[in-house]
Amino acid sequence: MNLLPQDSLELIQNAPSIVFLTGAGISSESGIPTFRGEGGLWKNFRAEDLATPEAFQKNPKLVWEWYDWRREICQKAKPNPGHLIIAKWQKKSSSVHLITQNVDGLHPRAGSETLIELHGNIFRVRCTNCTSIFHLEKDGLDHPGLKFCKECDSLLRPDIVWFGEEYNQSLLTKSWELCKQSQVVIVIGTSANVSVPTNLAQTAIRNGAIGIEINPEETNLTPSMKHHFDGKSGEVLPQIWKEVFPDETME
């Protein structure tokens, strides 16, 4: 039995623009904890206590210790079938767009070359003084502890949007436009508690897109969705792929 009814299937197959919106749930399938909420403590600190400009100003060494620990977890994790199907879909069609809340780098490692990382990337750093941005591994900065700019020797910070900080406006504007123009928005693994990704999905739906949600639990977005699939993306997305592209192999 197919997951998608024929009308939705045909719409997806013919859609000029499809947007995937992904959250922490797709990464948790790869073994990455959310670092927030129950069980999210690290050395008696909550993420909300460490991922702020104030915490970094007060104790940059502590904040870097936390991010080094998180980065090691992300390095060991592997993209799951959910990540891989999205990347495969993007390679097949330039009309498939990816916007993620996740900072773990699993989407690029799965093969997604075009994506918007709304909250940044844990493998990138930026200077607190000049405009320089570096990749920790490629630029030889992947070591424990404080890290310093290769251009001006100032302290580097994770290239992450922290609590209380504004989003990158150019990325946000591009995200709004993609959602407004989409015919299908597929929301995966987001709790819908973060306002901007939730509003992006609702913007797509208000502009005529059908919404598909893949999440083991219902969220604030569920009532707005045309379809809600109660399950993991690594299980549901491969099935959707088979239905949308029945003549394609999974290899």
Question: Between 233-244 and 6-14, two packed helices, what is the crossing angle to 10 degrees?
Answer: 80
Distance CA 151, CA 129 (A): 10
57 Cβ partners below 8 Å, 6+ apart? none
Going by the DSSP 8-state scheme, the letter that residue 102 receives in this structure is -
Using alpha carbons, select from 145, 80, 74 the residue that is nearest to residue 103: 74
Looking at the annotation, which residues are catalytic? 119
Under 8 Å between Cβ of 52 and 164:
yes
76 Cβ partners below 8 Å, 6+ apart? 31
3-state SS class at 29: coil
